Amino acid sequence: MNKTLKQLIITVYSIAAILVVANLVATNTLATQGVVVDELYAQTQLIQEENRLMSYQINSMNNLEVLTTKAENLGFHSIKKAVIFSDSSSVAQLPLSLSHE
C-alpha cells in the first residue's frame, strides 16, 4: 500500500504540474491576444476619427460659396444675362407639298 500511495502522490503532483504549465501558457496567450486587440481597437478609433475629419473637409469643399470662389479663381465668370433656347421649333420639317397629302 505504501508503494501505491507514493505512485498516487507522484501522479497527482505530475497532473498538477501539467495543469500549472498549461495555465501559464493559456494566460500568456490570452494576455498577448488582449494586447493585439487593444492595438487594433486604437487603430480603429484613429481611422474613424480620420474618416470624420475627411467627411467634414469634403462637405466644406462642396459648399456652393467655396465652389464659386474656386471657379472665379480659375477664371470663370458669372453670367450677366441668361439665354434660353426654345425647343418648340422643329429641327426637321416636311416640305409643304408633302405635308398636305
* pLDDT 10s digits, 2-31: 888 899 999 999 999 999 999 999 888 888
pLDDT digits (tens, 9 = 90+) for 28-61: 888 888 788 888 999 999 999 999 999 988 887 7
DSSP secondary structure, 4-38, as one string: HHHHHHHHHHHHHHHHHHHHHHHHHHHHHHHHHHH
Domain ranges for the chain: 1-65
Q: Give yes or no for residue 89 having a pLDDT over 80.
A: no
Distance CA 31, CA 23 (A): 12
Distance CA 40, CA 46 (A): 10
Instruction: Say whether pTM exceeds 0.75.
Output: no
- 78 Cβ neighbours under 8 A, 6+ residues apart: 68, 72
